[in-house]
Amino acid sequence: MSTQFSFRSKYLEPSPLQDLLKKIKSLQADGREIINLGVGESFLNTPEAIERHAQKAINLHQTRYTPASGSIELRAGIAQRYRVKPEQVVISNGAKSVATAVFWTLIDQDQPVLMPTPHYPPYFFGIKSLGGKVYLLECDKNFVPVTSEMERYLQALLANGFVGLICLLLNTPNNPTGAVYSDSVVKEISQLAKRYRQGTAGIAVISDECYYPVGFEQSYLRFDPNAVIIGSFSKAYAMTGWRIGYGIMPAELAQKVTLYLETFSGCPNSIGQCAAVEALNQEPLIHCYAKQRELLWCWFKRLNIFCGGADGGFYAFPDFSPFMNEKNGINSILFAEHLLNQANVAVVPGIAFGDFDNCCRITCAVSENQLRAGLERIEKIIC
């Protein structure tokens, strides 16, 4: 029987990361010892206090449905961190699920979404599957968005008679570049959004801040109380498998997003939510990768590799083009394959994140020893 899939589903593509993980697993099954510098999660375990709290929650049978937008306790805790009302907070199964709910609620057919590139691929494909029209914005050499470039797109849309909501999707600290947008850049973007909000088009700024600690202090929200913030416990507390993410947004939007969650996903898992409540009492693990980042920087410098961004979060996105050739591979996919096959080191090809076939993504969220060993292996192979 040939199955006819929905029109929407044709936009969903297999993630190169999943392909990479499959390849790594099969090489490991053959006895190869792979250093995985492609991963998107911390080498650290979830802090014990958080795990203990979750065990306690199981013992207390806190295993039933919570409200679809999250438990009152967790929403209140996150609201306090962001200095907003609990009605402005929704919780779901990781940042990805929250973002999906927000996109579903805001994006109609042909609706423009401006997104700096390189970009997080699931958002690109997810928005396209909802019918949104993605405009990829070129960044500066440090992978920071350029406000004048955003304005150029906004002006072109308005000149073409667009009336309605334009979404601007930011991501800082960035995946895959590790770029952190400075306060002055973030402020400029918020001022631009404010100016254009007063015109015929509405602007929704959605800021994915999954690699920041949970809280107001570094958030885009400081400059724009109307923004939608997407956050997560996955990266800040090494809790990727617990699947707890959240969104901060105007209450009216939170109500609609809650309807989506009630309809399509139901509540996030209750034990994960209890764990997240305890996480708010713990130090985030976000600063644990500074030495690794330093190590990477020294290595780039010594090998004369250009790398913009890499100021925070988990990743660096170096330009390997001086080393791409017939022997090492002439593009990012062949280059990454060469590293995996010959050096037993996994990195993610840059092409997965947009038109960046000269780059590969390397993570800082591994141990210093693993990173050092991985870089040594790469150097031996490519130089």
Ligand X SMILES: Cc1ncc(COP(=O)(O)O)c(C=O)c1O
240/341 with CB nearer ligand X: 240
Question: Which conformational region is residue 241 in: left (phi greater than 0), alpha (psi within -120 to 50 degrees), or beta?
Answer: alpha
If one asks whether residue 232 binds ligand X (CB under 6 A), the answer comes out as yes
Among the listed residues 16, 47, 77, 94, the single contact to ligand X using CB under 6 A: 94
Segment near ligand X (CB under 6 A); pick from 68-76, 157-165, 232-240, 256-264: 232-240
If one asks whether residue 175 binds ligand X (CB under 6 A), the answer comes out as yes
Measured in whole angstroms, how far is the alpha carbon of residue 307 from the centre of its chain?
19
Euclidean distance between CA atoms 123 and 129, whole angstroms:
10
If one asks whether residue 218 binds ligand X (CB under 6 A), the answer comes out as no
Pattern 312-341, ligand X, x by CB under 6 A: ------------------------------
Tell me whether strands 165-171 and 112-117 are parallel, antiparallel or unpaired: parallel
CB count in 10 Å sphere of residue 368: 14
DSSP letter string, 150-170 = HHHHHHHHHHTT--SEEEEEE
If one asks whether residue 213 binds ligand X (CB under 6 A), the answer comes out as no
- Asked if residues 305 and 317 have their Cβ atoms less than 8 Å apart, the reply is no
Segment near ligand X (CB under 6 A); pick from 46-54, 94-102, 288-296, 327-335: 94-102
If one asks whether residue 40 binds ligand X (CB under 6 A), the answer comes out as yes
CA atoms within 13 A on the CB side of 195: 11
147/240 with CB nearer ligand X: 240
Segment near ligand X (CB under 6 A); pick from 90-98, 100-108, 141-149, 189-197: 90-98
154/365 with CB nearer ligand X: 365
Q: What are phi and psi of 218, to 5 degrees?
A: -115, 5
| Number of residues located near ligand X, criterion CB under 6 A | 13
Among the listed residues 24, 35, 210, 229, the single contact to ligand X using CB under 6 A: 210
Least Cβ distance, residue 210 to ligand X (angstroms): 4
- Asked if residues 129 and 8 have their Cβ atoms less than 8 Å apart, the reply is yes
Among the listed residues 57, 145, 167, 208, the single contact to ligand X using CB under 6 A: 208
If one asks whether residue 245 binds ligand X (CB under 6 A), the answer comes out as yes
Kindly compute the dihedral angle of the four CA atoms of residues 183, 184, 187, 191, in this order, to the nearest 10 degrees: -170
- Asked if residues 8 and 14 have their Cβ atoms less than 8 Å apart, the reply is no
If one asks whether residue 240 binds ligand X (CB under 6 A), the answer comes out as yes
Least Cβ distance, residue 299 to ligand X (angstroms): 23
234/270 with CB nearer ligand X: 234
Euclidean distance between CA atoms 201 and 192, whole angstroms:
13
If one asks whether residue 236 binds ligand X (CB under 6 A), the answer comes out as no
Question: Which tokens hold the place of 84?
Answer: 């907003």
Tell me whether strands 360-363 and 348-349 are parallel, antiparallel or unpaired: antiparallel
171/292 with CB nearer ligand X: 171
Question: Which conformational region is residue 31 in: left (phi greater than 0), alpha (psi within -120 to 50 degrees), or beta?
Answer: left
The residue whose Cβ lies closest to ligand X is: 94
Task: Report in angstroms the alpha-carbon separations of 164 from 56, 72, 109, 134, 266.
Answer: 48, 34, 12, 15, 30
268/318 with CB nearer ligand X: 268
Closest among 223, 142, 231 to 186, alpha carbons compared: 223
Least Cβ distance, residue 31 to ligand X (angstroms): 29
If one asks whether residue 261 binds ligand X (CB under 6 A), the answer comes out as no
69/175 with CB nearer ligand X: 175
Q: Is 77 helix (H, G, I), strand (E, B) or coil?
A: helix
Q: H or E segment at 248?
A: strand 245-248
If one asks whether residue 120 binds ligand X (CB under 6 A), the answer comes out as yes
Pattern 124-163, ligand X, x by CB under 6 A: ----------------------------------------
Contacts with ligand X, residue ranges (CB under 6 A): 40, 94-96, 120, 171, 175, 208, 210, 232, 234, 240, 245
